[in-house]
Amino acid sequence: MSTNADAPPAGSADPAEPAPGGAPRAAEPTGYTHRQIMVILSGLLLGMFLAALDQTVVSTAIYRIGESLDGLTAQAWVTTAFLITSTIATPLYGKLSDQYGRKPFFIFAISVFIFGSALCTLSTSMYMLAAFRAFQGIGAGGLMSLALAIIGDIIPPRERAKYQGYFMAVFGTSSVLGPVIGGALAGQDQLLGVDGWRWIFLINVPIGVLALVVVARVLHLNHEPRPHRIDYAGAASLIIALVPLLLVAERGREWGWGSAAALSCYGIGVVGIIAFVLAELRAGDEALLPPRLFRNRMFALGTTQSAIIGIGMFGGITLIPLYLQLVKGYSPTKAGLLTLPLMLGIMSLSMVSGQITSRTGRYKIFPVIGSGLLVVGMLMLFGLTADTSLVYVDAAMFVVGAGLGLNMQTIVLAMQNAVPPRDIGVATSSTTFFRQLGGTLGVAVFLSIVYSTVSDKIAGSFADARGTAAFQAAAKAHPEQMKTLHDASSGGDDVLNNMTFLNHLDPALAHPFKAGFTGALTVAFLVGAGVLLIALVLSALIKEVPLRTHAAAFSKNEPDEPGAPAETAAKPEEPEQPAPAAG
**More confident of the two residues 390 and 64:** 390
**Higher pLDDT pick, 361 / 236:** 236
Whether the predicted pLDDT of 304 surpasses 50: yes
pLDDT band at 384 (very low <50, low <70, confident <90, very high): very high
Name the DSSP class of 544: -
What pLDDT score does 27 carry?
Answer: 47
Between 157 and 559, the more confident residue is 157
pLDDT at 569: 37
Farthest-apart Cα atoms in the chain, separation: 102
Check pLDDT > 50 for residue 565.
Answer: no
pLDDT at residue 551, rounded to an integer:
67
Q: What is the per-residue pLDDT for 381?
A: 94
pLDDT over threshold 50, residue 103: yes
Q: How confident is the model at residue 487, as a pLDDT?
A: 64
Output the pLDDT for position 546.
Answer: 83
Cα distance between residue 12 and residue 236, in whole Å: 45
When pLDDT is averaged across residues 35-52 and rounded to a whole number, the result is 82
Q: What gap in Å lies between CA 78 and CA 130, rounded to an integer?
A: 4
Give pLDDT, residue 344.
Answer: 86
Angle value at C-alpha 93, between 242 and 140, nearest 5 degrees? 75
pLDDT surpasses 60 at 141: yes
Tell me the pLDDT tens digit for each residue of 81-100: 888 888 889 898 988 888 88
Long-range contacts of 467-470 (CB under 8 A, 24+ apart): 468/508, 470/508
Q: How confident is the model at residue 557 (pLDDT cuts 50, 70, 90)?
A: very low
Q: How confident is the model at residue 72 (pLDDT cuts 50, 70, 90)?
A: low
- In tens, the pLDDT along 347-373 reads 888 888 888 888 888 888 999 999 999
Angle at the Cα of 382 (from 248 to 179), degrees rounded to 5? 60
**Does 481 score more than 70 pLDDT?**
no
Give me the half-sphere count of Cα atoms (radius 13 Å) on the Cβ side of residue 520.
Answer: 30
Contact 143, 50 (CB under 8 A): yes
Termini Cα distance of the chain: 4
Kindly indicate the confidence band of residue 138, based on its pLDDT and cuts at 50, 70 and 90: very high
Segment 28-31 long-range contacts (CB within 8 Å, at least 24 positions apart): 29/554, 30/550, 30/554, 30/580, 31/154, 31/156, 31/550, 31/551, 31/554, 31/579, 31/580
Q: What number is the average pLDDT over the span 230-258?
A: 86
CATH number of 31-223: 1.20.1250.20
Which of residues 530 and 186 earns the better pLDDT score? 530
Under the banding of pLDDT at 50, 70 and 90, the label for residue 554 is low
Band of the pLDDT at 423, cuts 50, 70, 90? confident
Q: Note the pLDDT of residue 498.
A: 54
Would you place residue 33 in the very low, low, confident or very high pLDDT band (cuts 50, 70, 90)?
A: confident
Q: If DSSP codes are grouped into helix, strand and coil, which group holds residue 26?
A: coil
**Could you state, in order of their start, the residue ranges of all structural domains in the chain?**
31-223, 232-287, 456-520
Mean pLDDT of the region 513-535: 90
Amino acid symbol at 136: Q
Give residue 3's pLDDT: 42
- State which H helix or E strand residue 36 sits in: helix 34-68
Tell me which range, 53-67, 211-225, 431-445, is most confidently predicted by mean pLDDT: 431-445
Q: Tell me the one-letter amino acid at 554.
A: F
Predicted local distance difference test score (pLDDT) of residue 360: 85
DSSP per residue, 370-395: HHHHHHHHHHHHHT--TT--HHHHHH
Residue 6 has pLDDT above 80, yes or no: no
Average pLDDT rounded to a whole number, residues 38-65: 79
Identify the pLDDT of residue 10. Answer: 45
Residues 306-337 pLDDT 10s: 899 888 777 777 788 888 888 888 877 777 77
In this prediction, residues 164-183 reach a mean pLDDT of: 74
- Report, as an integer, the average pLDDT of 31-49: 80
pLDDT at res. 45: 85
Pick the most confident of 41-45, 279-283, 417-421.
279-283
What is the distance between the alpha carbons of residues 217 and 135, in angstroms, rounded to a whole number?
26
Region 135-146: mean pLDDT is: 89
- In this prediction, residue 555 carries a pLDDT of 57
Least confident of 476-485, 530-539, 555-564: 555-564
User: Are the C-beta atoms of residues 284 and 291 closer than 8 Å to each other?
Assistant: yes
List all residues 6 or more positions away from 33 whose beta carbon is below 8 Å from its beta carbon.
1, 9, 10, 580, 581, 582, 583
Look at the pTM and tell me if it is higher than 0.85. no
Dist CA 27 CA 25 (whole Å): 6
Nearest CA to 230 among 148, 285, 149?
Answer: 285
Task: Look up residue 511 and give its amino acid.
Answer: H
- pLDDT, residue 370, reads 93
Mean per-residue pLDDT, 214-221: 81
Average pLDDT, the chain: 79
Q: How much of the chain, in percent, has pLDDT values that exceed 90?
A: 17
Mean pLDDT score, 255-283:
90
> Lowest-confidence range among 256-265, 442-451, 489-498?
489-498
Q: Mean pLDDT check: name the lowest of 395-409, 505-519, 569-583.
A: 569-583
